[in-house]
Amino acid sequence: MTPSTEPHAIIVGAGLAGMVAAAELVEAGKHVTIVEQEPAASFGGQAWWSFGGLFLIDSPEQRRLGVHDSLELARQDWFGTAGFDRDEDHWPKKWAEAYLDFAAGEKRAWLHEKGVRFFPIVGWAERGGYSAGGPGNSVPRFHITWGTGPGVLAPFIRRVQEGVEAGLVTVLHRHRVDELIVDGGAVVGVRGAVLADDPALRGAASNRDVVGEFALRAPAVAVTSGGIGGNHDLVRANWPERLGTPPEFMLSGVPAHVDGRMLGITEKAGARLINGDRMWHYVEGIQNWNPVWPSHGIRILPGPSSLWLDAEGNRLPAPLFPGFDTLGTLEHLRATGHDYSWFVLTEKILEKEFTLSGSEQNPDFTNKDYRLLAKRVGPGAPGPVEAFKQKGADFIVAQTLPELLEGMQRLSDTPLDVDRVERHIRERDREMDNDFTKDAQITALRGARSYRGDKLIRVATPHKLLDPKAGPLIAVKLHVLTRKSLGGIETDLSGRALGADGQPIPGLYAAGEASGFGGGGVHGYRSLEGTFLGGCLFSGRQAGRAIAHL
């Protein structure tokens, strides 16, 4: 239903950043219209599918586990990871400082007041493995939301729905914005196509059949439409030389509607796009045996014990171990000329160290099921992991090493040096005979177990891969999985979109991934993990509050 009166603001995109901005406007008693090209089933966008990890600094959860964190340490990690080095990083650096203050300050209390709760064991994602001032988290900061992505979304969707009931919010599904209306240098509305109804389930591709047109006007328009991860052509077009050549074969970690259309449309209205070559893709992607969207991939969130090999059977160099440096590993693997790599592990490692990213892959956390959660510390792999082991196209399970190597050869697109693979496995296993070693990965996994959270549920007891008591042996073929845009619409700290002259474009705002999660690239070249949802929360809040004061 088209609103009968001009709203205070139009929000383009019904993902997390848009929901937060809309919730802030409802709190201020403002009228807002949300336009979204997808059906109502996909309300909430990408965040619904996420694991719900949030970056917090010096939280009660960290302190209870003996983790000593601080704003100073987090700033060291963020800036050492981001590697800001461009003139365009002026606003991204300001956003980074502001977000760190938020994560160390009111973020947890703000979410807690809205009913968001966290799993007591804090995860340690993106560990880095370089010097203290280099990339990676020095301490665990990955706080898993009780309820995963849907749990993060819930309070904001609830507030928006209350706004609908109060007559403050109008939600227009199947409304695709094709143009931002500009009048006298100011953005004053949106124009686009009404798409045909579609019964597509959440995340599934929907039709693009045009059945009408629409135009809406408002004093403010906020673009919260996400990034480009579902559009492989656009990903390849923006692929940076520093990461080698883009893969010919990639999986999608986001639905197809994450297509980047609004970035070009916003640029045509005068906004400046920056850091388009900065992007975040995973190298531990596996083909979903039960896909929802085209090329649907799932990311393995690995512990540090699996042996990582390239397509030819070469062991990856230190510190490119599972969970240490995502983009460093991507850069290395692209230099090999092959689109995939391998994990080699045991059932014992799989049971304790494999977690699959996504709300639907973690029913215990998502459904707040304590009984199911308790099974994570018992024998056997979590149900979704076991399902992939049995049904996934990329999994090989074998009782013997020759059988494993034969299975890897069957799935290989390039000749695999099985003698080299066997040598790497046996060399690694010999290093397990002592509590000390020259193998940096073994040192790292033993060090990880000094953190109580990792020892309890994340890192398997060190053992030989060829230990029959730890078997069977498992190999997993890993693919590049598209995920996040780290660049986007340049904004100031109020979320106002900036033009080529560096000045705010009247009436135009941006938040979430469309703005590089703030400023056009708050993460720089790399992310610390747990910061994508938080970036949507913070940038959406900043934009919503600024618009409310117009």
Q: Give the model confidence (pLDDT) of 161-197 as tens digits.
A: 999 999 999 999 999 999 999 999 999 999 999 999 9
Residue 416's pLDDT band, with cuts at 50, 70 and 90, is: very high
Neighbours of 133 (CB within 10 A): 11
The continuous run of DSSP H or E covering 164 comes out as helix 148-165
- The pLDDT value recorded for residue 128 is 95
Residue 375's pLDDT band, with cuts at 50, 70 and 90, is: confident
- The pLDDT value recorded for residue 426 is 98
Residues 372-384, mean pLDDT to the nearest whole number: 87
Q: Domain boundaries in the chain?
A: 282-481
d(CA 550, CA 539): 17
CATH of domain 282-481: 3.90.700.10
- DSSP 8-class letter at 202: T
Residues 209-227, mean pLDDT to the nearest whole number: 98
Residue 380's pLDDT band, with cuts at 50, 70 and 90, is: confident
- The pLDDT value recorded for residue 4 is 55
pLDDT tens for each residue of 74-103: 999 999 999 999 999 999 999 999 999 999
Residues 420-437, mean pLDDT to the nearest whole number: 97
Residue 1's pLDDT band, with cuts at 50, 70 and 90, is: very low
Residues 351-378, mean pLDDT to the nearest whole number: 92
**Residue 527: C-alpha distances to residues 127, 247, 328, 476 (Å):** 11, 21, 12, 25
For residue 148, is pLDDT > 70? yes
d(CA 85, CA 59): 30
Find the helix packing angle between 16-27 and 532-548, rounded to 10°. Answer: 30
- The pLDDT value recorded for residue 376 is 82
Residues 465-476, mean pLDDT to the nearest whole number: 97
Residues 10-24, mean pLDDT to the nearest whole number: 98
**Which DSSP string corresponds to 483-508?**
EEES-EE-B-TT-EEEBTTSPEEEEE
**Residue 213: C-alpha distances to residues 209, 260, 329 (Å):** 12, 21, 46
**Residue 132: C-alpha distances to residues 75, 126, 137, 430 (Å):** 12, 14, 9, 30
- DSSP 8-class letter at 315: B
pLDDT tens for each residue of 200-209: 999 999 999 9
- Cis (ω within 30 of 0) for the bond into 472? yes
3-class secondary-structure state, position 6: coil
Residue 374's pLDDT band, with cuts at 50, 70 and 90, is: confident
d(CA 17, CA 428): 45
Residues 44-73, mean pLDDT to the nearest whole number: 97
For residue 245, is pLDDT > 60? yes
For residue 3, is pLDDT > 80? no
For residue 324, is pLDDT > 70? yes
3-class secondary-structure state, position 538: helix
d(CA 3, CA 168): 10
